[in-house]
Amino acid sequence: MKKRVLVLFYLPVLFFLWNSGLNAQKKVSYGGYFQLGGEAEYKDIYIESFYKAKLEFELKLNEKIKVEIDIRGDSETRQFELYEASAAFKLSNEFKLEIGDLKKRYGLEELVSHEKLATINKSMINNYLEPLGYVNREPGVQIHWFDDNSKTGIISGIHYNESHKLTFMARFTKEGFLGFDAAGFNLQFAKEARLDMPNTYAVSFDLQKNIGTINCNFEIFNGEDPVESYYRALTGNNDKVKYLGLKALVLNNFEINGDILKSIEPLFLTSFLVTDIKEFDVNSIQFLIGCNFYFDEDVRLMIDGDLYLTNHSYDKTERTLYGSNVIAQLQIRW
């Protein structure tokens, strides 16, 4: 409800700024996307249609300060809501300060805007981490530093949410690392305000490599599950529940340069997730095969076939296909 009220406040402000002449001075820019598609889930005879839309405004107040306001809507809620509001301060060529509702930058997917991901939906691992609080947005302050000479960057920050949880996060990146194009290391530590909730950590490591026109990346995730750790503590078991995730993505963009079709981008993503390392043989495996057809740099048809293989502690020998789906969407960005 708070977000909807804020949208009602921000929209008149945005339109006032737009009509005030700031646009003529190139101080206001906007972007966004529209997505329309359908999804067929495993054992579901119906195709579920959907649409999503985003409208983002960037207000460049001067050479050092800019403000971003992001509102989104979808077919599920049929309402626009405030998704992001942040301010960025350029302190120097190397340093930038951000304040607002910010991503906590855990993993490569969190470094890319949702509409620019190669896949339609985020990976199985990212979907698992989101309710745990590691990849969501929270109010906070972040400092970004990047040195062009050493090709080294650091993002670090502090976040505080409505449940009074305090999160410290940091990401270290290095371009040109041991023959790879880039390497990254992420760290989070979450301090819970409630005494009965455990403090938790999360780490990840990623590598990126371009082989000709083929782009490859690999990630490994490890951390503690605060939800399962809490429930086990209620039964007298104070052992922390730790997860392990592995993910690899390979894609290639073939230029066609036709009158209509400009390029084709096939991709393959695979993930392996263990939600409790002590039960390593209980896990989930994801295989995603997709292809993106570009009619323009900002117009593409995306088709993904996403296969999930999951077993359970009560039957480790048999895997279910629950969660598997085929999904297609047309995306238009601006």
Same domain as 119, residue 40: no
Same domain as 97, residue 63: no
Domain end position, chosen among 32, 59, 87: 87
- Structural domains in the chain (count): 2
Same domain as 252, residue 165: yes
Helix ranges, the chain (H): 2-17, 124-129, 226-234
Instruction: Provide the pLDDT for residue 15.
Output: 52
DSSP for 201-251, written as a single string: EEEEEEEEEEETTEEEEEEEEEEE-HHHHHHHHHTT--PPPEEEEEEEEEE
Task: Tell me the percentage of the chain whose pLDDT exceeds 70.
Answer: 92
- This prediction has a pTM of 0.86
Same domain as 139, residue 83: no
Instruction: Give the pLDDT confidence of 200-215 residue by residue, as tens digits.
Output: 999 999 999 999 889 9
Domain end position, chosen among 87, 102, 125: 87
Using CA atoms in the order 173, 178, 180, 181, what is the torsion angle rounded to 10 degrees? 50
Domain end position, chosen among 87, 117, 146: 87
Same domain as 224, residue 153: yes
Same domain as 143, residue 58: no
Give the strand pairing for 48-60 and 214-224.
unpaired
Same domain as 277, residue 178: yes
Instruction: Give the pLDDT confidence of 222-239 residue by residue, as tens digits.
Output: 999 988 888 888 887 778
Same domain as 74, residue 130: no
Task: Tell me the percentage of the chain whose pLDDT exceeds 90.
Answer: 70
Same domain as 295, residue 234: yes
Instruction: Give the pLDDT confidence of 162-185 residue by residue, as tens digits.
Output: 878 899 999 999 999 999 999 999
The CATH number assigned to the domain holding 101 equals: 2.40.160.10
Give residue 212's domain range.
Answer: 91-333
Same domain as 240, residue 107: yes
Same domain as 102, residue 28: no
Average pLDDT over residues 122-146: 93
